[in-house]
Amino acid sequence: MKKLRCPSPFMGEKSKKKRADKIHAKLKDLYPEAQCALEFGGDPWRLLVMARLSAQCTDKRVNEVSRPLFEKYPDVEAFASSRLEELEEAVRPCGLYRTKAKSIRDTARILTEHFGGEVPQDKETLLSLPGVGEKIANLMLGDVFGDPHIVADTHCIRLAGRLGLTRETDPSKVTRALEKIIPKKEQSDFCHRIILLGREYCRAQNPSCENCPMKNIAE
Ligand code: SF4
């Protein structure tokens, strides 16, 4: 296996915090615009649908599938009254389409019946919706409700490990570990930027360490 340029030493919280500060400073230089890769146009409902579709699917494909999807179903009410078989077909390219279509329609019905068609803004209620776990809830809080959170998706987990920020791999443990070392107001932006680094250099297979701006971060 190829040797990675980022060591993952077992450091105390203080040096991990210093390391995280250094990494984020570099990430800010590299990616000044920390933006969600999902093109949801600022609409909470759209982000919720797209986040649900993104499980085991690329953001690029979710964006492609979502354009015609939101033309066919322009709002929560349209999803709530959709025919399940048609919705399944519309989201099929994203994979796991039966489960995703059902949870999206069930969520639309819950929002229509109990929340006036609006996406709730508190974490506990978000987590009670079908198919919504901490990753999606935190993404929603940070990107549409102005409450930054750690979003421990597969890229974030991989990069946090390779950059020596945590040895954890379980999403909720990675979230707790990063919460301790990334300032609250920067948590969402940090996660967006680390995903961009993962896409450009630190891919799951064949990371491009020789060209990576982080290769000497530990020195
Ligand atoms: S690609 Fe960059 S961040 Fe990833 S392991 Fe290599 S040097 Fe580290």
Q: How far apart are CA 99 and CA 127, in angstroms?
A: 17
The structure tokens listed for 96 are 């796991």
In this prediction, residue 161 carries a pLDDT of: 93
Please give the average pLDDT of every successive group of 10 residues along the chain, which has 219 residues. Answer: 64 79 95 93 97 95 98 98 98 97 98 97 97 97 97 95 92 97 97 95 93 80
Give the DSSP per-residue string, the chain.
-PPPSS------HHHHHHHHHHHHHHHHHH-SS---SS--TT-HHHHHHHHHHTTTS-HHHHHHHHHHHHHHS-SHHHHHT--HHHHHHHHGGGSSHHHHHHHHHHHHHHHHHHSTTPPP-SHHHHHTSTT--HHHHHHHHHHTSS-------HHHHHHHHHTTS-S--SHHHHHHHHHHHS-GGGHHHHHHHHHHHHHHT--SSS--GGG-TTTTTT-
Q: How far is the CA of 176 from the centre of ligand 1 (A)?
A: 23
Walk me through the domains of the chain, giving residue ranges and CATH numbers. 13-35+148-211 (1.10.1670.10), 44-143 (1.10.340.30)
Residue whose pair of structure tokens reads 């979003």 in the numeric block: 151
In this prediction, residue 11 carries a pLDDT of: 62
CA nearest 213: which of 81, 2, 22, 16?
22
In this prediction, residue 2 carries a pLDDT of: 63
In this prediction, residue 15 carries a pLDDT of: 84
In this prediction, residue 6 carries a pLDDT of: 72
Q: How far apart are CA 112 and CA 106, in angstroms?
A: 10
Which of 156, 197, 209, 217 gets mutated to test ligand 1 (max ligand atoms within 8 A of its CB)? 209
Of all protein residues, whose CA lies closest to atom 4 belonging to ligand 1?
202
Would the CB of 162 count as within 6 Å of ligand 1?
yes
